[in-house]
């Protein structure tokens, strides 16, 4: 089964590039940039990853970014992820980045996006991994800040396929960003938003993203199963859900294999993703293997989950067909 998973050509739709920063690269960049780290070795750094919910994860995730300063750092980070993706037979990626987590530290928007974009081009030509980039807004920052960053992105629209919404969901509903997402859609960008698992008001947030924001995809969205009406709506709209089993295990102590089976049974479109693979110590194949082992998924079910990732992607129909 592990070989079956490894060999399938796969797509990944929910991976934060900053969440792929491996401790070894952190140490190399820290030394190059003269940044001090609290851990003395990569092993010590990993041992300190003791998150148990979304806020405790986010604290460590944002602190880790302090070593990313120059364009070449963003290039190195992104290229390292694509090398891993190629080794796992991932052929297509829709990649999130969090510009506000960098501009708030004095790193220019252009530095971030240029480094990532150059790696995307090289990964395409040198590794055969195709990708598109999604600008994610931090929902615990203001709507004004999100709008300012959307405007900063205007000269780079050719480098973006969509916008997303991540970070701490508590008291930061989708509706707070309605104007920003409306403008992004006007500009031709696709829309997705995180509705993390078991957060407060999660069903209302799922309702807002479907009915009010009219997103093209939902990140996580596992709690939709509590509402037959929202399940029907997501089916009607043919919208994918980007579920992240190992991330869920850290944040809500469950791989959500029962929920993923239930989604398949109800005819929804769940996809499997790694979210922040360096922090959760599991890339896409490890997510699929863990899920299969816990839930006893058949080869057919795994093939459906992998096909869903291409179907729920924002590739054009002819581009999708080359993978399906």
Q: If binding means CB under 6 A, how many residues of this protein chain bind ligand HPA?
A: 11
Based on the shown chain and the rule CB under 6 A, indicate whether residue 19 belongs to the binding site for ligand HPA: yes
Which residue among 166, 216, 259, 286 contacts ligand HPA (CB under 6 A)? Answer: 166
Based on the shown chain and the rule CB under 5 A, indicate whether residue 94 belongs to the binding site for Zn ion: no
Q: Is position 219 annotated in a ligand binding site?
A: no
- Please say which residue, 115 or 164, places its beta carbon nearer to ligand HPA: 164
- Please say which residue, 18 or 275, places its beta carbon nearer to Zn ion: 275
Binders of ligand HPA among 172-201, rule CB under 6 A? 194, 196
Q: If binding means CB under 5 A, how many residues of this protein chain bind Zn ion?
A: 1
Tell me the residue number closest to ligand HPA, measured at CB. 166
Residue given tokens 């297509």 in the structure block: 92
Q: Is position 205 annotated in a ligand binding site?
A: no
Task: Count, in order, helices (H) and strands (E) of the chain.
Answer: 17, 8
Cα–Cα distance measured from residue 19 to residue 80, given in angstroms and rounded to the nearest whole number = 12
Which of ligand HPA, Zn ion, none sits in contact with 286, Cβ below 5 to 8 A by type? none
Q: Is position 52 annotated in a ligand binding site?
A: no
Q: Is position 89 annotated in a ligand binding site?
A: no
CA-CA distances (angstroms) from residue 51 to 14, 40, 68, 124, 281? 20, 20, 22, 34, 13
Which residue among 169, 216, 275, 286 contacts Zn ion (CB under 5 A)? Answer: 275
Based on the shown chain and the rule CB under 6 A, indicate whether residue 16 belongs to the binding site for ligand HPA: yes
Q: Is 321 exposed, middle or buried (0-12, 13-18, 19+ CB in 10 A)?
A: exposed
Binders of ligand HPA among 38-77, rule CB under 6 A? 54, 61
Cα–Cα distance measured from residue 260 to residue 282, given in angstroms and rounded to the nearest whole number = 18
- Please say which residue, 194 or 207, places its beta carbon nearer to ligand HPA: 194
Helix (H) or strand (E) holding 92: strand 90-97
For the chain, the residue count is 324
Cα–Cα distance measured from residue 207 to residue 213, given in angstroms and rounded to the nearest whole number = 9
Cα–Cα distance measured from residue 123 to residue 2, given in angstroms and rounded to the nearest whole number = 25
CA-CA distances (angstroms) from residue 137 to 18, 46, 94, 191, 280? 13, 27, 16, 11, 22
**Interface with Zn ion (CB under 5 A):** 275
Residues found near ligand HPA in the complex (CB under 6 A): 16, 19, 54, 61, 166-167, 194, 196, 247, 275-276
Per the annotation, where are the binding residues? 14, 16, 194, 275-276
């Amino acid at each position: 089964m592990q070989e079956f998973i490894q060999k399938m050509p796969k797509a990944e739709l929910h991976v934060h590039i900053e969440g792929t920063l491996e401790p070894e690269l952190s140490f190399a960049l820290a030394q190059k940039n003269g940044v001090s780290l609290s851990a003395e070795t990569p092993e010590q750094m990993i041992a300190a990853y003791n998150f148990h919910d979304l806020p405790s994860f986010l604290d460590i995730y944002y602190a880790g970014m302090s070593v990313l300063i120059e364009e070449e750092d963003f290039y190195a980070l992104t290229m390292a992820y694509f090398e891993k993706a190629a080794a796992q037979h991932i052929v297509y990626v829709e990649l999130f980045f969090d510009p506000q987590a960098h501009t708030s530290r004095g790193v220019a928007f252009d530095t971030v996006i240029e480094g990532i974009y150059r790696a995307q081009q090289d990964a395409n030509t040198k590794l055969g991994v195709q990708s598109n980039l999604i600008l994610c807004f931090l929902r615990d920052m203001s709507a004004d800040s999100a709008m300012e960053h959307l405007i900063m992105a205007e000269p780079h629209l050719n480098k973006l396929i969509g916008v997303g919404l991540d970070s701490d969901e508590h008291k930061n509903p989708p509706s707070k960003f309605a104007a920003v997402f409306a403008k992004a859609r006007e500009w031709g960008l696709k829309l997705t938003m995180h509705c993390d698992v078991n957060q407060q008001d999660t069903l209302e947030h799922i309702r807002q993203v479907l009915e009010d924001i009219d997103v093209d995809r939902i990140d996580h969205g596992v709690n939709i199963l509590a509402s037959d009406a929202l399940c029907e709506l997501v089916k009607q709209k043919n919208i994918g859900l980007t579920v992240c089993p190992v991330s869920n295990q850290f944040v809500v102590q469950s791989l959500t294999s029962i929920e993923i089976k239930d989604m398949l049974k109800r005819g929804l479109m769940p996809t499997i993703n790694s979210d922040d693979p360096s922090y959760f110590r599991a890339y896409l194949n490890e997510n699929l293997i863990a899920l299969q082992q816990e839930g006893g998924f058949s080869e057919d079910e795994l093939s459906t989950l992998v096909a869903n990732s291409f179907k729920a992607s924002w590739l054009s129909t002819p581009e999708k067909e080359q993978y399906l």
